[in-house]
Chains A and B, each alone.
Chain A
Amino acid sequence: NAGVTQTPKFRILKIGQSMTLQCAQDMNHNYMYWYRQDPGMGLKLIYYSVGAGITDKGEVPNGYNVSRSTTEDFPLRLELAAPSQTSVYFCASSNTVAGELFFGEGSRLTVL
């Protein structure tokens, strides 16, 4: 059971570089989310999607972009990386609008 798969698990970026965090789920879930976790701050929503072709901003979308061309994939793009984007990123999915979240293992990103 793969569930939600995130890659890469670790990445170091230089300021100004760009990268994409990949997220794929094999549970046919419509609802997918990207969160960032900073120490002592809980999880903050970056972007979310309620189905293929539909995305929307969360609480902290600046500096990020997403796409949802298929039900399975929900990549997060970081453009012009900044030190403030150093964080742990979690992708999650749910099979119903109000159900529990299934999380990936997280991606630790450091911007130097």
Chain B
Amino acid sequence: AQKITQTQPGMFVQEKEAVTLDCTYDTSDPSYGLFWYKQPSSGEMIFLIYQGSYDQQNATEGRYSLNFQKARKSANLVISASQLGDSAMYFCAMREGGGSYIPTFGRGTSLIVHP
């Protein structure tokens, strides 16, 4: 079974608008971390944001925020005020304690920002 599910293969957003990229996860471990990475067309993987399973508040990093709904096992990435440079693949990932914290990744969502 997929540990990380990203159901949106592709998303489109207008510049300056907000966009939400979905991520659901599957774990029975109480200790885990959730991550989002960005992969622009140049190919490198860039860490964006982290949410720990025990964190009470949603993580934020500049224009990125993570909408963490623990009961629903979702960790959606919200990008506010989209910019053309946000066009990229976005990957959700998890490290769970019972799995020796080995990082597992979703299949990614392609985001295209239109001017």
The distance in angstroms between the C-alpha atoms of A42 and B108, with both chains bound, is 6
B9 neighbours in A (Cβ, 8 Å): 40
A33 neighbours in B (Cβ, 8 Å): 103
> Does B76 interact with chain A (Cβ within 8 Å)?
no
Total residues of chain A contacting the partner, CB 8 A? 22
Evaluate contact between A45 and B104: CB separation under 8 angstroms.
yes
A45 neighbours in B (Cβ, 8 Å): 102-104
Evaluate contact between B101 and A106: CB separation under 8 angstroms.
no
5 nearest interchain CB pairs?
A: A103-B45, A42-B107, A43-B105, A42-B105, A100-B47
Binding site for A on B (CB under 8 A): 4, 9, 33, 35, 37, 43-47, 50, 91, 93, 95, 97, 100-108
Evaluate contact between A101 and B103: CB separation under 8 angstroms.
yes
B50 neighbours in A (Cβ, 8 Å): 100
Evaluate contact between A102 and B108: CB separation under 8 angstroms.
no
A42 neighbours in B (Cβ, 8 Å): 4, 91, 105-108
7 example contacts (A-B, Cβ-Cβ < 8 A) are as follows A41-B107, A45-B102, A45-B104, A99-B33, A100-B47, A102-B47, A105-B43
Closest residue of chain A to B32 (Cβ to Cβ) is A98
